Amino acid sequence: EPEVTQTPSHQVTQMGQEVILRCVPISNHLYFYWYRQILGQKVEFLVSFYNNEISEKSEIFDDQFSVERPDGSNFTLKIRSTKLEDSAMYFCASRGPGRETQYFGPGTRLLVL
């Protein structure tokens, strides 16, 4: 069964550094998402992406965040200058055309020191 994959599984970085989290959505999916989950808390929407542009973004997704689909298979989330409070599990999700279900990847655990 096709699945969403994410790399790396864990990332440790220093405050102020840039990080890029990578996702490979399911191959025929057209809608892509990033969510995050701070330890022990609920999953929060960050951004949705369709047709090479952002469809919607949350208040969390400020100027420090950006997303890109650099080629036909990858979808990335960049945090330009990480803060301590960016420490969380980041989930990528994708959805096929005409479908409601969002399929989530296993996540990247980001720790900012």
Partner 1 sequence: QQQVKQSPQSLIVQKGGIPIINCAYENTAFDYFPWYQQFPGKGPALLIAIRPDVSEKKEGRFTISFNKSAKQFSLHIMDSQPGDSATYFCAASISNTDKLIFGTGTRLQVFP
List of residues contacting partner 1 (CB under 8 A):
4, 31, 33, 35, 41-45, 48, 55-56, 58, 91, 93, 95, 100-107
**Closest separation in Å from C-beta 33 to partner 1:** 7
**Closest separation in Å from C-beta 108 to partner 1:** 10
Nearer to partner 1, 1 or 71 (CB): 1
65-68 sheet: strands from edge to edge: 5-7, 19-24, 75-79, 65-68
Nearer to partner 1, 24 or 43 (CB): 43
Look up residue 29 and give its amino acid: H
**Closest separation in Å from C-beta 38 to partner 1:** 12
* CA dist., res. 8 & res. 108, Å (int): 6
Nearer to partner 1, 65 or 106 (CB): 106
